């Protein structure tokens, strides 16, 4: 799971501490998980799995918008725009698959 976490964080262009803030974790918690220095609880696993998918992370940002935007507006906006771009690429691929499915 640590490789998946690092790949997602880098795709979102976030530091470990900013990822932690967006997820409501302690400032260093994401880095601790990402480096394999702590065992995941069930709730940690669910949150991290969700955060490691672009659509899941986008939903998390939408939910935490008010509390996070006050302090980290620029980072929130940049990350949200990255996720919207990823989502549009996913939608384009789905459309292409659907168009070519029965050819």
- pLDDT score at 97: 61
Q: Which domain holds residue 42?
A: 2-100
The model carries a pTM of 0.73
Helical ranges in 1-64 per DSSP H: 2-11, 16-23, 29-34, 42-51, 54-63
- Structure tokens, 83: 């996720």
- pLDDT score at 86: 86
Burial class (CB in 10 A: 0-12, 13-18, 19+), 83: buried
User: Which pLDDT tens digits describe the chain residue by residue (103 residues)?
Assistant: 889 999 999 999 999 999 988 888 888 888 888 888 877 788 888 999 999 998 899 999 888 876 776 678 888 888 989 988 888 877 767 666 655 655 5
How many Å apart are CA 83 and CA 34, to the nearest integer? 20
Structural domains in the chain (count): 1
- pLDDT score at 1: 81
């Amino acid at each position: 799971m640590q490789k998946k976490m690092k790949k997602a964080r880098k795709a979102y262009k976030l530091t470990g501490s900013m990822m932690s803030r967006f997820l409501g974790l302690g400032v260093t918690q994401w880095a601790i998980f990402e480096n394999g220095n702590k065992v995941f609880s069930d709730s940690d696993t669910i949150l991290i799995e969700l955060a490691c998918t672009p659509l899941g992370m986008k939903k998390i940002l939408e939910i935490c918008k008010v509390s996070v935007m006050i302090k980290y507006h620029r980072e929130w906006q940049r990350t949200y725009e990255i996720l919207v771009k990823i989502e549009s690429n996913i939608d384009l691929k789905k459309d292409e698959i659907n168009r070519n499915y029965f050819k």
